[in-house]
């Protein structure tokens, strides 16, 4: 990273000094309620050190399933809660790396590393924390095509160069690798006076990505289809700040994207069928690819070419039986939700696809 801006210095100071614990935040943007968590993740969270938990500023749960043996990279890891959870799920054969620019955050993460490994019963640490910027991972020694899963929790919104950061994600991911992250998004572009406000930016609101600009950015980076796993409206919960924000609507969104060259810009029908084997740890009954694709164990589901690729050309492949290929094309795929969590009263909107 060439030049540290005044805003970056403010953000560092905010997370390194101003905030001592989650309760010090002035809005609820960087807060994640436990009801979003999978029971397996809740169980592991109970094993995480109290200080690490007290300084947690995430806005979602960016921990995908099927992490056994995976190399995971957490961008903007803070005090390491998600790194430790990922390391636990990856097991001794896997490895989790946390990157953050704020020294004080990493000091807490590092100080609890030995104790956390002991709690997990691991003889050899499978976690490493690195100080640095998510916009330039090469200087940190993170090589091309070296990572299975990139996760991140409420960090891209803080980045001064989101395109560079996301470009780095696709550089370090292995082919078929997954980006799975939670972040703050907005329903419209943020006016300059709000994005220039250092406090609003540090509270993860001022730098929120407008959802359609994010879609454009991903396409420019070659990612033609990504999926929304969960979406929840954020109510900042601070009257003064809400008055400044006016009519901007904010969302905490969890996104899943893959490094796959076979994805098309719209869903196409090749007559492919996927069956979930029910073999992913913690998911015996179904697997949610996104907020409108729930694959029920053993039940055949007609899927578009992109969904077939996501299930067939990634680490999820052993857990699915996909029949058919792209040799015959039947036209565009009507991706109307076969299953939608909307029906269960959540705030979910339709994903792309």
- x/- contact string, 149-168, with ligand SAM (CB under 6 A)? ----xxx--xx---------
Which of 27, 28, 30, 148: binder of ligand SAM (CB under 6 A)? 30
Options 97-105, 252-260, 305-313, 320-328: segment touching ligand SAM (CB under 6 A): 97-105
Sign of CA dihedral 335, 282, 224, 215: positive
Q: Is residue 250 close enough to count as binding ligand SAM by CB under 6 A? A: no
Write a three-state SS string for the chain.
Answer: CCCCCHHHHHHHHHHHHHCCCHHHCCCCCCCCCHHHCCHHHHHHHCCCCHHHHHCCCCCCCCCCCCCCCCEEEEECCCCCHHHHHHHHHHCCCCEEEEEECCHHHHHHHHHCHHHHHHHHCCCCCCEEEEECCCCCCHHHCCCCCCEEEEEEECCHHHCCCHHHHHHHHHHHEEEEEEEEEEEEEECCCCCHHHHCCHHHHHCCCCCCEEHHHHHHHHHHCCCCCCEEEEEEEECCCCHHHHHHHCCCCEEEEEEEEECCCCCCCCCECCCEEEEECCCECCECCEEEEECCEEEEECCCEEECHHHHHHHHCCCCHHHEEEECCCCCCCCECCCCCCCCHHHHCCCCCCCCC
Question: Considering beta carbons, is residue 81 or 294 the nearer one to ligand SAM?
Answer: 81
- What character string, x for contact with ligand SAM (CB under 6 A) and - otherwise, covers 129-148? ----xxx-------------
Nearer to ligand SAM, 250 or 283 (CB): 250
Q: How far is the CB of 5 from ligand SAM (least distance, A)?
A: 10
Site for ligand SAM contains 27 (CB under 6 A):
no
Among 109, 147, 204, 208, binds ligand SAM (CB under 6 A): 204
248 interacts with ligand SAM by CB under 6 A: no
With CB under 6 A as the rule, give the number of residues binding ligand SAM: 24
Smallest separation (angstroms) from ligand SAM to the CB of 304: 32
Window contacting ligand SAM (CB under 6 A); options: 77-85, 292-300, 311-319, 344-352? 77-85
Q: Which stretch binds ligand SAM (CB under 6 A): 74-82, 192-200, 295-303, 313-321?
A: 74-82
- To ligand SAM, the closest distance from the beta carbon of 37 in angstroms equals 13
Spell out, one character per residue from 41 to 70, where the chain touches ligand SAM: x when CB under 6 A holds, - when not. Answer: ---------------xxx------------
Which residue from 64, 78, 177, 207 is in contact with ligand SAM, where contact means CB under 6 A?
A: 78
CB-wise, 137 or 280, nearer to ligand SAM?
A: 137
Least CB distance to ligand SAM at residue 25 (A)? 9
For helices 103-111 and 113-120, the axis angle rounded to 10 degrees is 40
| Alpha carbon distance 159, 207 (integer Å) | 8
The site for ligand SAM (CB under 6 A) is made up of 11, 15, 30, 56-58, 76-78, 81-82, 100-102, 105, 133-135, 153-155, 158-159, 204
């Amino acid at each position: 990273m060439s030049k540290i801006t005044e805003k970056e210095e403010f953000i560092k100071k905010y997370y390194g000094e101003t905030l001592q614990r989650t309760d010090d935040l002035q809005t609820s943007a960087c807060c994640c309620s436990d009801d979003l968590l999978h029971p397996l993740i809740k169980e592991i969270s109970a094993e995480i050190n109290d200080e690490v938990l007290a300084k947690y500023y995430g806005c979602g749960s960016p921990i995908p399933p099927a992490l056994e043996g995976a190399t995971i990279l957490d961008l903007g890891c803070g005090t390491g809660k998600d790194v430790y959870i990922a390391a636990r799920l990856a097991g001794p054969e896997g490895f989790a790396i946390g990157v953050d620019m704020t020294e004080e955050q990493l000091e807490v993460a590092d100080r609890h590393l030995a104790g956390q490994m002991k709690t997990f019963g691991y003889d050899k640490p499978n976690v490493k924390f690195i100080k640095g910027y998510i916009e330039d991972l090469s200087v940190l020694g993170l090589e091309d095509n070296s990572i299975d899963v990139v996760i991140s929790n409420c960090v891209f919104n803080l980045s001064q160069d989101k395109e560079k950061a996301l470009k780095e994600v696709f550089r370090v991911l292995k082919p078929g690798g997954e980006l799975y992250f939670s972040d703050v998004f907005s329903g419209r572009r943020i006016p300059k006076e709000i994005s220039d406000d250092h406090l609003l930016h540090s509270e993860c609101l001022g730098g929120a990505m407008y959802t359609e600009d994010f879609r454009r950015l991903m396409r420019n980076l070659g990612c033609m289809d990504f999926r929304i796993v969960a979406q929840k409206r954020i109510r900042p919960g601070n009257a003064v700040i809400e008055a400044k924000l006016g009519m901007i609507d904010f969302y905490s969104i969890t996104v899943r994207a893959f490094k796959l060259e076979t994805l098309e810009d719209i869903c196409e029908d090749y007559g492919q069928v996927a069956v979930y084997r029910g073999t992913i740890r913690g998911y015996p009954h179904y697997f949610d690819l996104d907020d409108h694709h729930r694959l029920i164990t053993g039940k055949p589901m007609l899927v578009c070419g992109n969904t077939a690729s996501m299930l067939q050309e990634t680490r999820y492949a052993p857990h699915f039986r996909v029949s058919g290929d792209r040799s015959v094309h039947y036209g565009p795929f009507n991706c109307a939700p076969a299953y939608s969590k909307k029906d269960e009263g959540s705030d979910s909107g339709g994903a792309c696809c």
